[in-house]
Amino acid sequence: MANKIVTQRCQEEQMEQMSHSMQMSSQIKKRKFKSSDEEASLSEFYPIIPGDVMSVKEILTEPKFPRHRTWEALRETLSSDELHQRNQWTLFGNEAEKLEIGVIRNQRVVRERADRLTLRCEAERKASLHMKFMEDLSMKAPDFSVPLRSHTVWVGMDVHLSCLIQGCPVPSITWFKDDVPLRGSLPWNYKLTKKCGLDVLEIRRCSAQDAGEYKVIAKSSLGEVTSSARLIVNSHEGAEAKLKRSLTPISVPEPDAQLASTFPPTFVKEGDNLVLQCSFTTALLPFQQEVTWYRDGLVVRQSSRVELQTGLRSASLTLKRVHKEHEGLYSVRLRTWDGSVEHSAYVYVKDGPAVVVGAPGSPLQVKCSDVSRDYVFFSWIPPSADGAAAVQGYFIER
């Protein structure tokens, strides 16, 4: 307890000594004003306190310590210095950030310009390659889409000889009259023009001297083509200029034969013979000797059961021992000068009598689709005469 009282007494004495020294310094020290160029020391404004007495932090935070405006100024100064330094760092950071943003923006602009320039160069390169490819692809030898056409006119009339030439590269064109090139000074009534893509040679007030053969030669690095035509100029007296008249007898063709009488729709019984016959108006010409017969659109050919006969004025088809399969639409076709003439009629085949009275008829269109060691596949069409009962099946005998 005694030690504690002694410690408190020492502290009180130290506090009184400090307050006394501060009062003395404030009364003795006079304030001096200095210019802006001179630097003021902290000792002129603030009292110098030994470190072993009390720290500045303890002085400023001690609640019972006697306040003086000097200490308030010290605290404000420290706070303002700290705020100023913070503001300086903030300003420096803002400026640095702005500088960095500007650098990044400039880099982006430069990169975009460089990319744009690179893309433009690449696009121009690809466009030039595409144009060259299209030019190579469109290379075409000269060709006359519309060739020259021959004309026959009267004396004193105008005529236009025109042609259309295509090609890539564009071919050079040369006109000729009777193998003489039309170049340089042309006759007064000759005029070479180009209208709507057509190369035109215009000849005004034609005379007998203008008649002849005209030719156009189109030439390029890929080839050469020629088109020619003849111009005939007739006078009113009936003479032709530079053209010899040749009279060629025209042969009149003989009249061809036509179908006169034909066969009607026919009914025949199975097992009987069938004869279809037709006659012609005149004797058949040499190119009409082949008369063609059809059944259901298929050509009927000569066989052991089919007999075909063709005479000068008639033709016939004979079927021996008709079966149900022979039923169908029969046609006869004859060639003529204009093409051909044809006649058709249906042939009906009735079922023949069965071997057993009341039994159905024989199957139609019997076909064997597969043969093996153990089995045989047959297919057929049931007959129309089923004996008043449905056919259940057939027995096959060896």
The model's pLDDT over 223-233, given as tens digits with 9 standing for 90+, comes to 889 999 999 98
- Dist. CA 234–CA 206, nearest whole Å: 10
Residue 29: pLDDT band by 50, 70, 90 thresholds? very low
Residue 43: pLDDT band by 50, 70, 90 thresholds? very low
Residue 194: phi, psi to the nearest 5?
Answer: -135, 115
For residue 40, the tally of other CB atoms under 10 A from its CB is: 10
DSSP for 323-347, please give it.
-GGG-EEEEEEEEETTEEEEEEEEE
Residue 152: phi, psi to the nearest 5?
Answer: -130, 120
For residue 327, the tally of other CB atoms under 10 A from its CB is: 19
Q: Determine the average pLDDT of the residues in 271-283.
A: 90
pTM given for the model: 0.35
H-helix segments, the chain? 2-28, 56-61, 69-137
- Residue 348 contacts residue 327 (beta carbons within 8 Å): yes
Q: Report the residue count for the chain.
A: 398
Lowest mean pLDDT among 55-64, 175-184, 288-297: 55-64
Q: Residue 18's closest CA among 41, 43, 49, 61? A: 49
For residue 315, the tally of other CB atoms under 10 A from its CB is: 22
Residues 238, 244, 245, 251, Cα dihedral to 10° = -170
- Dist. CA 67–CA 75, nearest whole Å: 11
- Dist. CA 267–CA 350, nearest whole Å: 7
For position 36, what pLDDT does the model report? 47
3-state secondary structure of 55: coil
Residue of higher predicted confidence among 253 and 256: 256
Asked if pLDDT for residue 286 goes beyond 80, the answer is: yes
Distance of CA 184 to the CA centre of its chain: 48
Q: Determine the average pLDDT of the residues in 327-355.
A: 85
Asked if pLDDT for residue 214 goes beyond 90, the answer is: yes
The model's pLDDT over 161-178, given as tens digits with 9 standing for 90+, comes to 989 888 888 888 899 988
**Strand partners for 340:** 335
Portion of the chain with pLDDT greater than 90, in percent: 12
- Residue 378 contacts residue 371 (beta carbons within 8 Å): no
Asked if pLDDT for residue 291 goes beyond 50, the answer is: yes
The sign of the torsion formed by the CA atoms of 51, 54, 59, 61 equals: positive
Residue 119: pLDDT band by 50, 70, 90 thresholds? very high
For position 289, what pLDDT does the model report? 85
Asked if pLDDT for residue 324 goes beyond 90, the answer is: no
3-state secondary structure of 284: coil
